[in-house]
A = this chain, B = another copy of it.
């Protein structure tokens, strides 16, 4: 399928600077551009490539002012990353060949209900009492426990495991190997120092438009529910402890972990390899830098922090400078 730059500019509401009749048929990174491809310039670090790219067109920011001659065609938009995302979504809709129906060697227990226009892949297993709504895609080798509810248009990739009682909203995407609803880590030492299991009787509730990365784990609550809000995006290998609550539209990058009963607000941005202790509360709009350790509640919204111990971002940056200086001085003595 080929599209003219005219068509594309129209589709993404962009301002065409170049030849609208040029046709493109694929996407390419700006540094790997080829004729017939469209690229985008989001991160200013990559600006140099725009002067030499072989892509037929590049989506840029409306604020972009070339410092040299440009030979490719431009389409200027408010947010190039969002615009190319929208364009790729449209492309994906046209090219994707979605399966429906039930494949061989799949199990649906008697009291479970799977809507007819769903896809259920081979070797997938839907336990007693579960409800799978319209247009859900369940890839092969998925396990769905008892009394699970999966909302419409959700995609569950191969090998996802969902424990009993989990509730998943609409339009979610759960990647391979993710585990939802495993037991919280609860043990109480008896008089001999031997740990007794605390049964985990709660569930996990996941909102709408949530993405869960590959091999991420979300534990069920001891009592009540572990809550993942609407629009939350969890990267790969993230750990969410029992009774944690994650507010709407919060993003957590890879390998971060949130210990039991901690509540993270809405629209927070958590970088990779961050750790949160249990039983704290994080205000809406908080940003946490990579590899930070968060050991206390954060009450003021929309602030940025980093480090271990966690510091306001400006103090953290000064700390990094001071740390280097001290060692230099110390080494000079």
Which of B182, B254, B293 is the one whose CB lies under 8 Å from A291?
A: B293
Which of B29, B255, B330 is the one whose CB lies under 8 Å from A239?
A: B255
Q: How far is the CB of A59 from chain B (nearest CB, A)?
A: 12
Give Cα A293 to B198, complex, Å.
29
Q: What count of chain A residues pass the 8 Å CB interface test?
A: 106
- Please give, as numbers and ranges, the residues of chain B lying within 8 Å of A305 by CB-CB distance: none
Does A119 have its Cβ within 8 Å of any Cβ on chain B?
no
Q: How far is the CB of A267 from chain B (nearest CB, A)?
A: 5
How many copies of this chain are found per oligomer?
3
Give Cα A182 to B27, complex, Å.
19
> In the bound complex, do residue A198 and residue B88 qualify as a contact, i.e. CB atoms below 8 Å apart?
yes
- Given the contacts A182-B236, A201-B27, A322 and B330 also touching, CB distance less than 8 Å: yes
> In the bound complex, do residue A193 and residue B249 qualify as a contact, i.e. CB atoms below 8 Å apart?
yes
Does A324 have its Cβ within 8 Å of any Cβ on chain B?
yes
Q: How far is the CB of A108 from chain B (nearest CB, A)?
A: 11
> In the bound complex, do residue B275 and residue A272 qualify as a contact, i.e. CB atoms below 8 Å apart?
yes
> Measuring CB to CB, which residues of chain A are less than 8 angstroms from any residue of chain B?
27-29, 32, 39, 43, 45, 79, 81-82, 84-86, 88-89, 91-92, 103-105, 107, 121-123, 125, 139-141, 143, 145, 157-159, 161, 163, 173, 175-177, 179, 182-183, 185-190, 193-199, 201, 209, 211, 213-215, 217, 219, 222-224, 231, 233, 235-237, 239, 241, 243, 249, 251, 253-255, 257, 259, 267, 272-273, 275, 277, 279, 290-291, 293, 295, 308-309, 311, 315, 318-320, 322-327, 330-331
- Supplied contacts A85-B199, A122-B125, 9 more A-B pairs, CB within 8 Å: A45-B279, A88-B201, A161-B176, A173-B197, A176-B182, A277-B290, A319-B323, A322-B330, A322-B331
